[in-house]
Structure 1
Amino acid sequence: MSFGFIQPWMLFALAGVSLPIIAHLLSKRKFDIVFWGAMQFLELGRKTRRRIRLEEILLLLLRIGLIAIIVLAFARPWGKGGAFNALTEGVRRDVAYVIDGSYSMGRLTGDKTPQAAARQWIQKSLGTLRTGDTVSLWEAREQVVPRVESATSDLQQVREQIDRLPQPAGASRLTAAMTRAIQQLNQGTNPIRELIVVTDGQSFPWNVGDSTLWARLDDLRSQQTIKPRIWAVDVSDLAALDAPNFAVDRLELSRTMTVPNFPVRIRTTVRQFGGVSARRPVYLSINGQRLQDKTTVVSLPPDGEAPIEFEQRFDAAGSYLVTVSLDDDQLPGDNASHSVVTVAAAVPILLVDGRPSLDPVQSKSFFVQAAFGGATPDAAWVRAATIPPSELNAARLEGRDAVMLLDVADLDAEQVQALEAFVSKGGGLVVATGPESKPDFYNGPFGRKGKGLMPAELATARPVPASEPVTIEGESLAVPWLTRFKPGSGIDLATVRFTTWRTLKPLHPGEADPAERPGAAPAGPAISAPVIAAQLKNGDPWLVTRRYGEGQVAVLSAPLDSEWSTLPSKNDFVPFLHELLFSITSRGQGHTVETGAPLELQLPRGVPAESIRFRLPDGSEVPAEPGSDDSRPIARLKSTLLPGVYQALRANRPQDPPDYFVVDFDRAESNLAALTATEQEQLADHERMNFIRDVADWTAAVDDDSPRAEVWWLALLAVLGLLVFEVAMTRRLVRSGHGVLDAELDPAEAADMG
């Protein structure tokens, strides 16, 4: 609040307040006293004289104040802020609030979380807004969530949205939310615009070190018609940021699809941020049920970590939620990590034998059929049908999870098209090259320079002397499903000897075919970059994989028989084939996704998508939407803004177990380190933003924006009031003096005087 005068030189007239004082002093001058006979009747009592003297002093002060206020009125006083705001209409403003919705806002400190404190802060600040001010509300999560997207002056609507905010979860993208809010503020009509970012004071979501990100934001802000002011509000308990925090990282599964009693390895990392050396129990749960025999204890140094690995077999087909968790601490949002494993009764696949023979041993599929269909406990895991290349068509692919091309020479255009459609919709494809494989076909219509199914260019066969075979480089087996085959006790995959193989040169989908028309729009399914999953000792790739649409393709540089290698003779041959098959099967993929990605549940024929409801992490349920086509019915959930566990439920069969989905998130906010003074200065540089804690800090700045309210008219009202009071006091003084005189005379004296 501030105060001043428009014509301060008029204050020199305050010297005029001396006039009543001078007049009063002159009225007290000494005169010669002449006593005469009736004088005794006019003398007043001591008490009466004292009262009259006090009234005269009060009258003097009134006259002094009257002159002072007249002078102040002519000086034209003004004020702004505080109570003066009530005397003006004020300057209307557009206010955009950005509230941090990440899981660090759920930290338990004292009697409330930072999110609760942020709600309270915004609610309190809304009470300081005036009629005509507008408000928008944005929540910063991994996806920016507009809670009140269009600016409104209906503050009750904003308050209701604040009360309905979901529990904090996932990470936050503060700068993305700030960008959306600034763009919305530019559409406002009020002359002052404010952006208020309410967070818990954590350093991570600010991306202080990303100068490019902040340069873009500064550029956007400078382009606005009216540059908004940015306020960063810290609602955290500063002492709580120093408390240690324990967190479970994302889960890494050896496979997301398996069959009953086939082992799945579950890996993760447990971390401690800050603190002292500690021991923490780590739990494994399946579908929310903790497995007591799988509990382990880890020792964690300060700011340290420890790897964790579990192995689990599932008894029956179904969808399973896998959870690794810790005991709760102050930040429960990172104490558990989830993933989903889909268990199929068996995997139906199609084997395309590139060299069928009446003698089964001579066929290209002999060892593969033996691995998948022998009289062993593993036999039920895969249902394999074998056909020659001539019988491959779209009908034979129906109902299959994967196809294996075993040293197939080539295929016609219709067969290639059928395979592309099959893989793009989620099917798996294994290409085992060999002596029959024609490079012209695989590099031509099948590969199309990286835009087709082939992830690598196929060269001619490369033989070596039988006395100098090449083996697999064990350290190259780094992808999750291959790590079990790294050299060790009883592991012999790396000892496979190759005497011939084809050189594979990985192709990236961005490498354009010179024959294609320049500037043509990209078409077809999304294709990922190739991954060299395994190498030979000489550095040549042995196994190259990549995604093609919703499916997966794997290419081997040698056949799966004994013609070019000793692979079929190894103990690891059967488990390797199963791991390879399960890794490319998409039935279990897509159940663990990133925030914002849609959820898709493949349905049996005849089951409508409308019969499926998705249960969200907050307990609410929404109906599924139909997706894809009739040949592959899908129930879809488009929006996944909340991280956590989702369930697909069959409304007409509530007794059926749910299909689980997990929307995962970045764990970087587990580091609760607060913004340092240096980081705050860096963010506030060039008047970019101001850091505050209390609503009063913001309202003080708001008061500075208020227009000056001239209050000379109040001074004139005061003059009128004082004039009335002065007249009343003068009249009272005169009348009371005569009244006292009459009272002090006795009746006889009064009669004689009369």
Structure 2
Amino acid sequence: MLNFFLNPWMLVGLAGVLLPVIAHLLSRKKYDVVDWGAMQFLELDPSAKRKIRLEELLLLMLRMSLIAFVALAFARPWVGSGWLMGLAAVESRDIILIVDQSYSLGWESDGDGQSIHSRAIQMGREILQGLTPGDVVQIIEAREQPLALLPHSTRDHYLAKEALNELLPASGTADLVAAIQKGIQLLAASSNLRREIIVLTDLQARGWNSADTGLWARLDDSLHQSSIAPRIWIVDAAAGEEITAANFTIERLQLLREVAFVNSPINVTTKVRYTGGEGPVTRQVHLEIDGVRVDEKTIQVKLQPGGEMTVDFEHRFETVGSHVLSLVLDHDPLPGDNRAEAVVNVREAIPVLLVDGDRQPDPTRCETYFAQAAFLAGGAEHPWIIPTVIGAEELTIDRVKPFGIVILANVPTLDESLVEGLKKFVASGHTVLVTLGDRIHREDYRTTLYDVGLGLLPCRIESIANESEQQKRGVRIQNSRLDLPWLKPFRAERGGTLADARWSRWWQVTLPAAPLIQQGSPDAPVPSDQPPPDEGEAPDSAETPNVGTSITELSLTTGDPLLVTRRNGRGTVALLTSSLDADWNTLPAKQDYVPFLHELLFSLLSQSEGRNVNVGTPLILNIPAGLNVDEYEFRNPADKVVPFDKLTDPFQTAARLRNPIVPGVYRFTPKVPKPQEQSLSEEFVVNVDRQESTLTRLTDGERDTLSGDDRMKFVASVPELRKQLLSDAARAEIWWLILYVFVASLGIETWLTRRMIRPL
């Protein structure tokens, strides 16, 4: 019943119908009865008495109904009926216009060369052109996370057209169901009776998830819970066009590491796929560095229909800073998947603080001797890692501040204040690697450093394990677990010796079952239903450091973890359950020892910096000391300025773009150009899922499933949409009809009152 009122909470006013009854009961008075013989000549006959009582009852009911009519009118009742279509046609409407922004709409027709996205925008203009002056409109971009283009719904249709004209090019994927859900949420605050959601899309199956019954059940619940369920219209912007031409796709780039060094090689790998078309085709893959094509590194690949091929490139950078490395295919009808990009951060060297927990007069017996030698790479002229070694007793937070990476090597214990300082150090975007040995105090590590999962360590240490007699010379790293990009070069089939190292002792550990703190993180993605989901939106509350999931990156053949990592705020903490020296393993004697330590630190550093991320993952840039962050700005792939948040703590100032939802290259640059040596210019890449390249439209059966129970209607064009809007069952408010009844009842009540008080 309440679904037929726009303001159902006003029905509480119906309680006011009791007021006339209460007033009548309170106004009755009791009189003393005195018998008087002459009264017998003044008494009315029984029929007259009944008539008066009937009139009084009728008057009471009229007064009660007057209050009920007022309450009903304020509740704004409505009805849906064909005979009220004329009335409904002149009523204002709320329109949510959803534009599919997935890159499949970038398909260019052979006939006119116009993209489906361009047609969708033109359809949107036609829809806005046909609105009446009182209609309220909002436009939503359907991406992985829906984005409302206008600050609020508006009757200014010119403003809506301008927002439509400024839509960014189609890119990434689109969650159309999430966009419809957002439209339903926005319409919940509407005051209009007629509510429409219009989706402009190419009807590709990818964005609908028609087989996810749970997803559609939640959408149905949202519709049923609405006081007035909006009508949902799906307009085919592709006009039924079946895409059968050949399409070539370049997959996401895979980097061995995001950190590189001047004149050192960096490798990038990807796959090129070929769908549609007939017969083998030869395509060129071009390498671009910072937007400039490197012609001598173009590769030709021969592809079969439905096939793919892996391509590898190597490049050496000559200057420090962040560089955008792009692999590009020649143009085809779907340009959105012809380019893939990644950012490489080129450095001179990385300073690392080594905290030795077992300093000895003989340097060769120190805990960090082999690690220090590995980082200096045998006295190389330009080492990539510059180590500074101190004893555990020298460790203070002030000693930590100049470094981005700190290694605690077999440090016996740390006091609580130092642990708290290191936690803040990591949370501000830095890295701590803890290696174990025979000197650590087990209970201190369990209570102070682990602290039931909220401390510095990613897992709880249990006890020291030794190889058994049966395992002598047999406990090694699981070669099959070397599947992370930075570990693949160490696999045995590639000539790696990492899995040949023998481990005689290690600490057994227990990983926490799940992350203990999920929300309130400086780096936590913003939920799609948290308004507004705009790029760069800053939080409006204090942040709590986020403790992420502990991940086992290396395991021994016994099944025990060897390397465990975990995100903590903006940084990363890692635990190696054995030692860095040769006391517990033979790794320092292996050829892979030097590259393994280097790649381990590069991997941890890349995790903390996060230059190549997925849609919705915050972009965080540590700002060098002395740089005024207020003089800089973030620009999105369309070169538009987006607001960012400034993060400040005792260790590091950072700039954060909270929720990038448009895939592509983002740049952090000066607002006013400066000399190169006095400015900072950094890039990030927000990657996208390439499954949108599978151009498969909804089948007739899938469309019937989605439109079942009158959930939504599919139309082929804007004229058909207009026809359907006019011919569909109208809705009309009837509060004005109730007010007419109210006025009529008020007249009857006045006449009846005057009649009752006339002279007898």
Deviation at 1:302, TM superposition (A): 2.8
Distance in 2 of aligned mates of 1:111 and 1:349: 55
CA pair 629-539 structure 1, distance change in 2 beyond 3 A = closer
Q: Say which of 668, 671, 674 aligns to 2:694.
A: 671
In structure 2, the residue matched to 1:632 is 652
Instruction: State the secondary structure of the residue aligned to 2:578.
Output: coil
Percent identical = 36
User: Residue 542 of structure 1 aligns to which amino acid in structure 2?
Assistant: L
In structure 1, the residue matched to 2:371 is 368
In structure 2, the residue matched to 1:485 is 490
Distance in 1 of aligned mates of 2:656 and 2:505: 47
Q: Say which of 575, 583, 604 aligns to 2:603.
A: 583
Distance in 2 of aligned mates of 1:178 and 1:199: 12
Distance in 2 of aligned mates of 1:468 and 1:637: 50
In structure 1, the residue matched to 2:740 is none
CA pair 90-426 structure 1, distance change in 2 beyond 3 A = closer
Q: Do the aligned partners of 1:285 and 1:323 also contact (CA within 8 Å) in 2?
A: yes
User: Residue 543 of structure 1 aligns to which amino acid in structure 2?
Assistant: L
Q: Do the aligned partners of 1:612 and 1:624 also contact (CA within 8 Å) in 2?
A: no
Distance in 1 of aligned mates of 2:508 and 2:391: 25
CA pair 495-285 structure 1, distance change in 2 beyond 3 A = same
Q: Say which of 123, 131, 136 aligns to 1:134.
A: 136
CA pair 130-573 structure 1, distance change in 2 beyond 3 A = same
Alignment of 1:320-469 (within 5 A): 320-377=323-380, 380-464=383-467, 465=469, 467-469=472-474
Deviation at 1:639, TM superposition (A): 5.2
In structure 2, the residue matched to 1:548 is 568
Distance in 1 of aligned mates of 2:620 and 2:547: 19
In structure 2, the residue matched to 1:748 is none
Deviation at 1:608, TM superposition (A): 0.9
Q: Do the aligned partners of 1:201 and 1:234 also contact (CA within 8 Å) in 2?
A: yes
Deviation at 1:489, TM superposition (A): 5.4
Q: Do the aligned partners of 1:567 and 1:573 also contact (CA within 8 Å) in 2?
A: yes
TM-score (structure 2 length as normaliser): 0.76
In structure 1, the residue matched to 2:5 is none
TM-score (structure 1 length as normaliser): 0.77
Tell whether 2:619 aligns with 1:599.
yes
In structure 1, the residue matched to 2:300 is 297
Alignment of 1:603-682 (within 5 A): 603-621=623-641, 625-629=645-649, 631-638=651-658, 640-656=660-676, 658-682=681-705
Q: Do the aligned partners of 2:572 and 2:608 also contact (CA within 8 Å) in 1?
A: no
Tell whether 2:589 aligns with 1:569.
yes
Distance in 1 of aligned mates of 2:127 and 2:632: 43
Distance in 1 of aligned mates of 2:129 and 2:358: 81
User: Residue 106 of structure 1 aligns to which amino acid in structure 2?
Assistant: G
In structure 2, the residue matched to 1:311 is 314
Deviation at 1:692, TM superposition (A): 0.5
Distance in 1 of aligned mates of 2:318 and 2:653: 28
User: Residue 426 of structure 2 aligns to which amino acid in structure 1?
Assistant: V
Alignment of 1:461-540 (within 5 A): 461-464=464-467, 465=469, 467-488=472-493, 490-510=495-515, 524-540=544-560
Q: Do the aligned partners of 1:350 and 1:397 also contact (CA within 8 Å) in 2?
A: yes
Distance in 1 of aligned mates of 2:544 and 2:456: 11
Q: Can you give the 5+ residue segments of structure 1 that lack an aligned partner in the other structure?
A: 1-78, 513-521, 709-754
Deviation at 1:210, TM superposition (A): 1.3
Q: How many residues align?
A: 618
Distance in 2 of aligned mates of 1:554 and 1:625: 28
User: Residue 492 of structure 1 aligns to which amino acid in structure 2?
Assistant: T
Distance in 2 of aligned mates of 1:467 and 1:623: 59
Instruction: State the secondary structure of the residue aligned to 2:222.
Output: helix
Q: Do the aligned partners of 2:562 and 2:578 also contact (CA within 8 Å) in 1?
A: yes
Distance in 1 of aligned mates of 2:143 and 2:607: 29
CA pair 650-164 structure 1, distance change in 2 beyond 3 A = closer
- Listed one character per residue, the Cα deviations across residues 319-347 of structure 1 (whole Å, up to 9, x for unaligned) are 11111221121111111111111122111
In structure 1, the residue matched to 2:735 is none
Distance in 2 of aligned mates of 1:242 and 1:348: 54
Distance in 2 of aligned mates of 1:128 and 1:555: 63
Alignment of 1:182-197 (within 5 A): 182-197=184-199
CA pair 665-628 structure 1, distance change in 2 beyond 3 A = farther
Q: Do the aligned partners of 1:367 and 1:568 also contact (CA within 8 Å) in 2?
A: yes
CA pair 378-537 structure 1, distance change in 2 beyond 3 A = farther
- Listed one character per residue, the Cα deviations across residues 586-617 of structure 1 (whole Å, up to 9, x for unaligned) are 59723223334443332222211111122322
- Listed one character per residue, the Cα deviations across residues 300-332 of structure 1 (whole Å, up to 9, x for unaligned) are 333333333333333332111111221121111
Distance in 2 of aligned mates of 1:441 and 1:280: 61
Alignment of 1:160-175 (within 5 A): 160-175=162-177
Deviation at 1:568, TM superposition (A): 0.9
CA pair 370-171 structure 1, distance change in 2 beyond 3 A = same
Distance in 2 of aligned mates of 1:407 and 1:341: 33
Distance in 2 of aligned mates of 1:611 and 1:551: 25
CA pair 132-436 structure 1, distance change in 2 beyond 3 A = same
Instruction: State the secondary structure of the residue aligned to 1:480.
Output: coil
CA pair 88-626 structure 1, distance change in 2 beyond 3 A = closer
Instruction: State the secondary structure of the residue aligned to 2:168.
Output: coil
Deviation at 1:89, TM superposition (A): 6.8
Distance in 1 of aligned mates of 2:642 and 2:703: 42
User: Residue 472 of structure 1 aligns to which amino acid in structure 2?
Assistant: I
Q: Do the aligned partners of 1:428 and 1:586 also contact (CA within 8 Å) in 2?
A: no
User: Residue 274 of structure 2 aligns to which amino acid in structure 1?
Assistant: Q
Deviation at 1:182, TM superposition (A): 1.6
- Listed one character per residue, the Cα deviations across residues 44-76 of structure 1 (whole Å, up to 9, x for unaligned) are xxxxxxxxxxxxxxxxxxxxxxxxxxxxxxxxx
In structure 2, the residue matched to 1:242 is 244
CA pair 142-427 structure 1, distance change in 2 beyond 3 A = same
Kindly report the root-mean-square deviation, in angstroms, between the aligned alpha carbons of the 2 structures: 2.7
In structure 2, the residue matched to 1:278 is 281
- Listed one character per residue, the Cα deviations across residues 402-424 of structure 1 (whole Å, up to 9, x for unaligned) are 11111122111122112111111
Distance in 1 of aligned mates of 2:370 and 2:718: 75
In structure 1, the residue matched to 2:102 is 102
Distance in 2 of aligned mates of 1:440 and 1:244: 64
Distance in 1 of aligned mates of 2:491 and 2:285: 26
Q: Do the aligned partners of 1:103 and 1:669 also contact (CA within 8 Å) in 2?
A: yes
Please identify, of 89-98 and 348-357, the stretch whose mean Cα deviation from structure 2 is larger.
Answer: 89-98
Q: Do the aligned partners of 2:285 and 2:329 also contact (CA within 8 Å) in 1?
A: yes
Distance in 2 of aligned mates of 1:607 and 1:468: 54
Instruction: State the secondary structure of the residue aligned to 1:279.
Output: strand
User: Residue 473 of structure 1 aligns to which amino acid in structure 2?
Assistant: Q
Deviation at 1:140, TM superposition (A): 0.9
Q: Do the aligned partners of 1:232 and 1:691 also contact (CA within 8 Å) in 2?
A: yes
Instruction: State the secondary structure of the residue aligned to 1:132.
Output: coil
User: Residue 692 of structure 2 aligns to which amino acid in structure 1?
Assistant: E
Distance in 1 of aligned mates of 2:432 and 2:89: 72
Q: Do the aligned partners of 1:609 and 1:625 also contact (CA within 8 Å) in 2?
A: no
In structure 2, the residue matched to 1:6 is none
- Listed one character per residue, the Cα deviations across residues 218-262 of structure 1 (whole Å, up to 9, x for unaligned) are 111112222211110001154452223222222222221233244
Please identify, of 581-590 and 497-506, the stretch whose mean Cα deviation from structure 2 is larger.
Answer: 581-590
